[in-house]
Amino acid sequence: MTSLSPSAQKVQDTLDRLGGSHQVVELAQTTRTSKEAAQAVGCTVEQIAKSILLKGQVTGTPVLVIASGPNRVSEGIIAAEIGEPVGKPDADYVLEKTGFVIGGVPPVGHVHPIHTFIDQDLLQYEEIWAAAGTPHAVFKLSPDDLVRLTGGKILPVK
């Protein structure tokens, strides 16, 4: 069995601790974008659970939105949920709050607890794929598992 990179292993360790049989895989091709990830694993772009980190503009609080690949997240919807405007943070903020680089932010395993919202569009699929710590690592799971693992609130995010 091939060993995982440190970031991907951190996600695998978190998944093991949370229970289930999810397996992180690292691929030669990049999975940085939803389209690249879908091509790499052989699913539709809609089945990619992309992680978008937003930042509260008043408090600086991180908010994670896990959206279906083609969906554009409405910052207004998220702002209404958390009670303050949100914006896109820079790469340093993402790394500081999650412990992962942009393009590889997983739904679990962050260095700090992060309030999470899950796109309701993901619920229609039997299986979805999420980032696993690097722009080359992913893991397969069900939408129910995503909700269980993250404690995320389901929302229409677009």
Q: What is the pLDDT of residues 96-130, one digit of tens each?
A: 999 999 999 999 999 989 999 999 999 999 999 99
Q: At 2, is the pLDDT very low, low, confident or very high (cuts 50, 70, 90)?
A: low
Q: Would you say residue 1 lies in a domain?
A: no
Asked if residue 104 lies in contact with residue 7, where contact means CB atoms within 8 angstroms, the answer is yes
Q: Is residue 84 part of a domain?
A: yes
Q: Domain containing 11: what range? A: 6-155
Question: What is the number of domains present in the chain?
Answer: 1
SS3 assignment, position 91: helix
pLDDT at 20: 79
Of all residues in the chain, the percent with pLDDT exceeding 70 is: 99
The answer to whether residue 38 is domain-embedded is yes
Say if residues 135 and 38 touch (Cβ distance below 8 Å). no
Q: And the tokens for 51?
A: 């992680």
What is the model's pTM? 0.95
